[in-house]
Amino acid sequence: MKTMQFLRYLAILQLGIVAAACGGGPGDEEADNVNWQEAARFVDTLRYKSAVIDSIKSAFQVSFPASPLRNVPEQSFSRGEILVYDVGWGPFKAGYVVLTAEPDAATGTIRLDGKALSRGFVSTFYRMRDNVISTVDAGGLYPFFFEQHLREGKHYKADTWILFDHTRDSVHIKDGKLLSMNATKFTNDYLSIFYYLRSLSFGPGDTFSLPICVDKKLRVINFFCKGRDTVDVDGKPIPCLDILPRISDDKGTFNKKNGFEVWLSDDAIKMPVKIKSKIRIGSIFAKLVYSYRPVRQALPVAARRRDSAHASDTAPLRAARKHDSSRASDSRELPDSVKKPGTPQFYSTAGGRDTAHSRTGSVAPSSP
């Protein structure tokens, strides 16, 4: 059970758990299709409006600093990114997880968005339309506001949030009841922690820890770089770093047998390529099937406004949704496993560039 919860907290991969529980089969192509546009539009309506977030900040007298409290070298996802993962259990298909990063120069923030969408056989028994959002500082990659919206099955519905106050080293949580507690500076949520992980410099044998707020508790995740490995993505071998995350329990000890692994591309981008967690029978996996990064100017982080936690309440990466056939693109097409009727336009690669496997130069290490 701890393994499954760990998987959910760190990578919003509940879809694989559902597949294992339901015993969904491979199914035919027609049954496996997802009306992506409809699903994405629905999930986008779950996020809090800017006015709601502003009222929460005001209630706790929290304001976002005008300049970063720490500086992290600019990352590839700082200019926008889309990652799509196929989630399953052995031959059984469960759905997709879609991760996006959308920068906002006006507020100096990046909105990290994760959508979990069930599909095919699994949706027949357990429909899932989940959304988690973390608004982070663009210069320091620490979270300001985290929100989680779960819509699962026929009746389950949950909306929670975490407000981070890094100037006072505290967090305010709404998960049923309101809860405030002291926290280590630069404490992460379970979405932002993986993006910050990508900014660090490490190699085989390295071990480091990061603080996290999850399940209304403050914990520590210990990361161990097991070594180098190669992961096949769309027929191409991708050199990766094999990472073993271990989360502390209520007593502060680490579970060494949770069987959770993350493969990051062995380059400056450190893109999550594959995620796996062992269960009693087999393993749950999430594998990268598509990546996209628009070619844009670097995100400015100086002289910015912080009057809103969100850039806007429109769908993420709306610029990428417009197909401009007049612009050349060297992006690869969507694989067959993703390119289905109803695929949303924000998967368009027109005017963009898929740099998932290209090196962009060294990334200097930063202190957690």
Are 275 and 286 contacting, i.e. CB atoms less than 8 angstroms apart?
Answer: yes
Judge whether 361 lies within some domain: no
As for how many domains the chain has, the answer is 1
Confidence (pLDDT) at 296: 53
Residue 360 lies in a domain: no
Which residue in 280, 358, 270, 346 sits closest to 314, CA to CA?
Answer: 346
Alpha carbon separation from 25 to 22, 29, 91 (Å, rounded): 9, 12, 7
Specify if 367 maps to a domain: no
Which residues make beta-bridge pairs with 34? none
Instruction: Kindly state the tokens that stand for 347.
Output: 């998967």
Res 166: pLDDT: 95
For residue 164, CA distances in Å to 16, 54, 300, 315, 346 come to 30, 13, 22, 24, 30
Nearest to 142 by CA among 69, 80, 201: 69
- Does residue 200 belong to any structural domain of this protein? yes
Whether the pLDDT of residue 48 is over 70: the answer is yes
Neighbours of 91 (CB within 10 A): 8
pLDDT winner (highest mean) among 37-41, 59-63, 288-292? 59-63
Residue 21 Cα to chain centre, angstroms = 23
pLDDT at 316 over 90: no
**In this model, does residue 123 exceed pLDDT 70?**
yes
Which pLDDT band, with edges at 50, 70 and 90, does 37 fall under? low
* Confidence (pLDDT) at 283: 77
Q: pLDDT: is 124 or 147 the higher one?
A: 147
In a domain, 41, yes or no: yes
Does a structural domain hold residue 287?
yes
pLDDT of residue 2: 41
8 A C-beta contact, residue 88 and residue 99: no
Domain that holds residue 319: 2-353
pLDDT tens across 244-272, in order?
Answer: 998 876 555 545 556 689 999 999 999 99
Q: CA–CA separation, 118 vs 20, rounded Å?
A: 13
Question: Partners of 225 in the beta sheet?
Answer: 243
pLDDT tens digits for 337-360?
Answer: 333 333 332 332 223 333 333 322
Q: What is the overall mean pLDDT for the chain?
A: 74
Is residue 94 within 8 Å of 129, Cβ to Cβ? no
- The kind and range of the H/E element at 97 are strand 92-104
* pLDDT tens sequence across 268-289: 999 999 998 877 777 778 899 8
pTM confidence score: 0.74
Q: What percent of the chain has pLDDT over 70?
A: 65
Confidence of residue 191 (pLDDT cuts 50, 70, 90): very high
Distance (Å) of CA 350 to CA 297, 316, 333, 344: 17, 16, 10, 13
Contact 108, 321 (CB under 8 A): no
- Note whether residue 342 is domain-resident: yes
Q: Which segment, 24-33, 231-240, 333-342, is predicted with the most confidence on average?
A: 231-240
Are 74 and 136 spatial neighbours (Cβ–Cβ below 8 Å)?
no
In a domain, 359, yes or no: no
| Radius of gyration (C-alpha) of the chain in whole angstroms | 19
Q: Please give the Cα distance from 46 to 271 (Å, whole number).
A: 27
Residue with tokens 């630069």: 186
- Residue 51 phi/psi, 5-degree rounding, is -65, -35
Angle of helix 2-11 relative to helix 14-22, nearest 10 degrees, comes to: 140
